[in-house]
Amino acid sequence: MFEIDPWLVVAQILNFLIMFFIFKKFVSDSMSDLVLERKKSLEKLLSADFYYDEKIKNAEKQRQEILDKARIESKEYVNQSQEIASIKSQELIQKANSDVMYILDSWKKEVEKERVDMLEEIEESALNLSLELNKKLFGNTCQNSSFVDKQIKK
């Protein structure tokens, strides 16, 4: 029924081997090189992803530390500025108090001076009045101020 030609089978095997060697020489080796290169690239990418993930985590951690430090420093600066403001306000209050005391003292001195001036004026007016009374009562003999001063001291 079926007749198999042995030369045809050998020719087919030789054709297959020639095709296999040609395929291996030109296609298979370059394809395997490409596959290996692609595997290396993928491994590099994976390791780079891992490396950059670590770098990103470290950068995020550093960012958080810097933010925390900045918050602490800003709170310290706010506290310091509040302390300085408190000190300055106390200084201003003390200066205002000293200015008020100075003004009050100067007013007291002025009032005291006015009082002394008024007393002197009253004394002078009383002396003049006394001299006029003495002149009218006793005449010109007791008209000097030494007589009135002696009488006032008595």
Over residues 106-123, the mean pLDDT reads: 91
Q: With respect to residue 144, please indicate whether it lies within any of the assigned structural domains.
A: yes
Q: Which of 62-71, 116-125, 127-136 has the lowest mean pLDDT?
A: 127-136
Whole-number pLDDT of residue 152: 66
In 3D space, the residue among 149, 131, 128 whose CA is nearest the CA of residue 140 turns out to be 131
Q: With respect to residue 127, please indicate whether it lies within any of the assigned structural domains.
A: yes
Token pair belonging to 55? 């770098």
Q: Which of 14-23, 56-65, 135-144 has the lowest mean pLDDT?
A: 135-144
Q: Helices in the chain by DSSP H: which ranges?
A: 6-22, 29-138, 145-153
Q: With respect to residue 4, please indicate whether it lies within any of the assigned structural domains.
A: no
CA distance linking residue 77 with residue 87, whole number of Å: 15
What is the percent of the chain with per-residue pLDDT over 70, rounded to a whole number? Answer: 88
Whole-number pLDDT of residue 154: 65
Residue 71's domain comprises 20-153
Structural domains counted in the chain: 1
End-to-end CA separation in angstroms for the chain: 182
Over residues 54-73, the mean pLDDT reads: 94
Q: Is 53 left (phi over 0), alpha (psi -120 to 50) or beta?
A: alpha
pLDDT at 25 over 80: yes
Whole-number pLDDT of residue 93: 94
Q: With respect to residue 36, please indicate whether it lies within any of the assigned structural domains.
A: yes
Q: With respect to residue 24, please indicate whether it lies within any of the assigned structural domains.
A: yes
Is 0.85 surpassed by the pTM of this model? no
Q: With respect to residue 90, please indicate whether it lies within any of the assigned structural domains.
A: yes
What is the sign, positive or negative, of the torsion defined by CA atoms of 17, 21, 27, 30?
positive
Higher-confidence residue: 19 or 28? 19
Cβ–Cβ < 8 Å for 131, 143: yes
Q: Which of 26-40, 104-118, 123-137 has the lowest mean pLDDT?
A: 123-137
Over residues 34-40, the mean pLDDT reads: 92
Q: With respect to residue 64, please indicate whether it lies within any of the assigned structural domains.
A: yes
CA distance linking residue 140 with residue 64, whole number of Å: 107
